[in-house]
Structures are given as structure tokens and as C-alpha cells.
Chain A
Amino acid sequence: GQNIDQPTEMTATEGAIVQINCTYQTSGFNGLFWYQQHAGEAPTFLSYNVLDGLEEKGRFSSFLSRSKGYSYLLLKELQMKDSASYLCAAMDSNYQLIWGAGTKLIIKP
């Protein structure tokens, strides 16, 4: 079956760096998405990786290893506003997104 695994919750300190991991198993693969979702709000797009390697976008970076079925989202210089859930989603061979349950990131001062 198709499956996405990511940690349920993580805690980090303001100003620090945190890495949120995601492993996936899908029927075919057409890329890996990361979204941010603040409590009570809609998910918003952060990144898309389809090739192996690291994509950097400001304080956020996303990494993909297709051979390992693995991705991570790296958040640097954490700010209180980064407290949110981070959703990992893999696109399967039918171009449908398979979503993880999300990682709730708690930032402490």
C-alpha cells in the first residue's frame, strides 16, 4: 500500500535549527511536497522536490533521496511564527497526492 511516515510532534528552541523527516512508499513517484499549516488554517505550499538533492529557499530547505524514499524539511533560525504543522505529501503515478498526518512543530522561547 501507499504510506507516508513523519513524526507526530517535535519541539525546538527559537533561533535554532530543526529537521523534520518524512519517509514514503508510493506506487510510482512524481515528486515530494512540503506544506505548512497553522492551526485552524489552510495548508500553504513550501517546497517541491522531484530530483535528488537539496533545494534551499530562504530559511527553509528541502532534501530528497528517491532511492531511500526519504525527504526532510530543514528550518533554520527558527521564529515563533514557525510553530505550525508541517505536512509531507508524495505524488504517485496517478499524480495524486498521498499525505502524511503532519508533524506539529512547537517552538519555545
Chain B
Amino acid sequence: IAGITQAPTSQILAAGRRMTLRCTQDMRHNAMYWYRQDLGLGLRLIHYSNTAGTTGKGEVPDGYSVSRANTDDFPLTLASAVPSQTSVYFCASSGSGTPTDTQYFGPGTRLTVL
């Protein structure tokens, strides 16, 4: 693995189903982030984690949960998907602990909720 990987690449999901989007980084970055990107809108932060064992809420956290059991993994769970959660989801990480560090993005997961 080099960088950040996300899985699945894309998914079609029935409303009401539970779904976990996976994110793994091998850069030993402390901070990790989940964003959603919708047409005509900027990236919006869902949840973040400054270090393993801690998480925080971003701009649009409702309907999503995260965990950070270790440095490398930061899964995002939709407990009961709704059509408004149709979006492209990007995971990102940043490195040495300086808050202004560059964020590096994974390839994204395209999620459609019907």
C-alpha cells in the first residue's frame, strides 16, 4: 500500500441499510478526515480524528459515525442510509502533527442511496 486507500470504490445501497466505508493509510499520519463532495458544493467535513483514540465532529456529522482504533484505519459508518447521503466520500490524512499540514486524499468512494 502506498498512501491512502478507500473501499469500496463505489456502492449502490438501499435506504435504511447500514454501510461502512473503509479508509487505510500507511504514512503514519496522526490526523485523518472524512469529507463528502456534492456537485456545486465545496468539500464538507463529516468527522475527523487528530490522533488514534480520538474523534471529533465536523460540519455535517449527522447520520455518520467514525472510530479510530489505531493510526492506520478510520472507518466511516452510515447507520441507516438515506438518499441525501448520496455523494462522493473522500478520506484524507495529514502528517506530522502541525495543524496546517497538507492533507492527502484517498481516491474516493462513490455512494448512491436509493
Contact = CB atoms under 8 A, between A and B. Distances in A.
Interface of A: 4, 30-31, 33, 41-45, 48, 50, 87, 89, 91, 95-102
B108 A97 contact: no
Interface residues of B, number: 19
Contacts of B100: 30-31, 48, 50, 91, 95
B20 interface: no
Residue among B42, B99, B106 with max Cβ neighbours from chain A (10 Å): B42
A42 B43 contact: no
Main secondary structure of the interface of B (DSSP, over half): loop
Given A42-B107, A43-B90, A99 B102 contact: no
Contact of B105 (A42, A50, A101): A42
Contacts, number: 46
Interface of B: 40-45, 48, 58-59, 90, 99-100, 102-108
Name the 10 nearest CB pairs between A and B, nearest first: A99-B42, A95-B99, A42-B105, A99-B43, A45-B102, A101-B42, A43-B105, A100-B42, A31-B100, A42-B107
Nearest to A42: B105
A33 B100 CA distance: 10
Contacts of A44: 105
B9 to A, nearest CB: 11
